């Protein structure tokens, strides 16, 4: 290796993990996101009546995954890439425990996303490209391609290369917190600081499942499924009940009792028994119940993972 190359590697190796890991994670994110974005963008310009970007994106994501888990050159980084992307297979009991955990965690995070605009000012979600004018089949293809690619690329980058490195250097709690903030920052071009609680909560739940199973696979499934189910609402602003929560204003605006009083009033249990639809109260209590169940599901997953690992 030339002296310049050795010097650069020496400088890179001297950087603390807290600096190196985020840089590498965002490089991985940019490479993977670019690979996924190109066919999606072109599909909105060429042959728009055919969702041809979906199979092409799936192929590109498969190649991205193979490289991320240690295939291909350079050979010197294969072991590192394989370690950062964790286990590639899981025992059946761990899969069952993980699927239960991610489903409950998805309900909790969806509920949080729905009530957040009513607690603090959060802009309604929007997509960079308005695809409503395209055929339904094309919109479905674009949505699935976007959800699947986001699930793979973002989990490899954040729960893989970033969180795994931080876990090894600093432990799981700092790793979850730093990864959560980085996960929000990666979306900062589309969201504001008010979205931070949601992104950190999602990242911590996905990161915990990843840590317990020692695999990215459950988190990839959860991430892709969560995006696939929410993106149609972002595109068509339907169903109306769902969009009314996503585009709501904080309940404390103009409320005489102040912020805390207005929020407590909006979520009081008595509303669930009154006639009419109190969507905010329902979403709030779904969040409370699902969060409790999520903790229990994660504890169950931890026991299952330990038992499976000991066998």
Question: For 126-172, what is each residue's pLDDT tens digit?
Answer: 777 778 788 999 999 999 999 999 999 999 999 999 999 999 999 99
Condensed to tens digits (0 to 9), the pLDDT of residues 10-60 reads: 787 788 999 999 999 999 999 999 999 999 999 999 999 999 999 999 999
Assigned domain for 10 exists: no
What does the pLDDT read at residue 213? 96
* 197 CB-near residues (< 8 Å, 6+ apart): 112, 116
Assigned domain for 306 exists: yes
Is the model more confident about 233 or about 276? 233
For 258: left if phi > 0, alpha if psi spans -120 to 50, otherwise beta; the answer is left
What does the pLDDT read at residue 183? 96
Assigned domain for 11 exists: no
Alpha helices in 237-268 (DSSP H): 240-246, 258-266
Assigned domain for 82 exists: yes
Q: Give the gyration radius of the chain's Cα atoms.
A: 21
How high is the mean pLDDT of the chain? 90
Assigned domain for 125 exists: yes
| Full residue range of the structural domain in which residue 126 is found | 18-310
pLDDT at 310 over 50: no
What is the dihedral angle through the alpha carbons of 296, 186, 247, 234, rounded to the nearest 10 degrees? -90
Assigned domain for 109 exists: yes
What does the pLDDT read at residue 107? 95
Exposed/middle/buried for residue 101 (C-beta within 10 Å: 0-12, 13-18, 19+): buried
Assigned domain for 158 exists: yes
Contacts of residues 117-121 at CB distance under 8 Å and 24 or more positions apart, as own/partner, are 117/245, 117/246, 117/247, 117/248, 117/249, 117/250, 118/245, 118/248, 118/249, 118/250, 118/251, 118/263, 118/266, 118/280, 119/250, 119/251, 119/263, 120/194, 120/250, 121/194, 121/249, 121/250
Q: Is the peptide bond before 83 cis (omega within 30 degrees of 0)?
A: no
How many domains does the structure of the chain reveal? 1
Over residues 260-283, the mean pLDDT reads: 83
Percent above pLDDT 90 for the chain? 67
pTM of the model: 0.92
Assigned domain for 161 exists: yes
How far is it, in rounded angstroms, from Cα 177 to Cα 46? 42
């Amino acid at each position: 290796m030339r002296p310049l190359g050795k010097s650069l590697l020496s400088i890179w190796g001297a950087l603390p993990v807290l600096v190196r890991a985020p840089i590498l994670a965002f490089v991985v994110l940019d490479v993977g996101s670019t690979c996924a974005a190109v066919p999606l963008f072109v599909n909105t310009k060429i042959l728009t009546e055919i969702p041809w970007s979906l199979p092409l994106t799936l192929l590109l994501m498969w190649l991205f995954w193979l490289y991320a888990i240690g295939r291909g050159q350079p050979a010197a980084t294969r072991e590192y890439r394989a370690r950062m992307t964790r286990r590639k297979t899981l025992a059946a009991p761990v899969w069952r425990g993980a699927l239960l955990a991610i489903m409950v965690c998805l309900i909790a995070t969806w509920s949080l996303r729905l009530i957040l605009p009513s607690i603090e000012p959060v802009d309604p979600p929007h997509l960079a490209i308005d695809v409503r004018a395209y055929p339904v089949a094309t919109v479905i293809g674009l949505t699935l391609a976007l959800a699947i690619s986001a699930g793979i690329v973002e989990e490899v980058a954040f729960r893989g290369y970033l969180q795994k490195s931080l876990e090894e250097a600093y432990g799981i709690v700092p790793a979850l917190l730093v990864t959560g903030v980085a996960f929000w920052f990666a979306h900062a071009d589309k969201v504001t600081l008010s979205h931070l609680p949601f992104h950190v909560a999602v990242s911590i739940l996905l990161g915990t499942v990843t840590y317990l199973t020692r695999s990215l696979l459950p988190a990839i499934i959860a991430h892709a499924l969560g995006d696939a189910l929410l993106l149609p609402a972002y595109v068509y602003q339907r169903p109306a009940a769902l969009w009314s929560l996503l585009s709501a204003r904080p309940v404390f605006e103009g409320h005489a009792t102040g912020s805390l009083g207005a929020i407590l009033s909006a979520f009081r249990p008595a509303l669930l028994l009154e006639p009419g639809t109190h969507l905010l109260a329902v979403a709030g209590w779904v969040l409370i119940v699902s969060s409790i169940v999520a903790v229990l599901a994660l504890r169950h997953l931890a026991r299952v993972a330990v038992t499976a690992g000991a066998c």
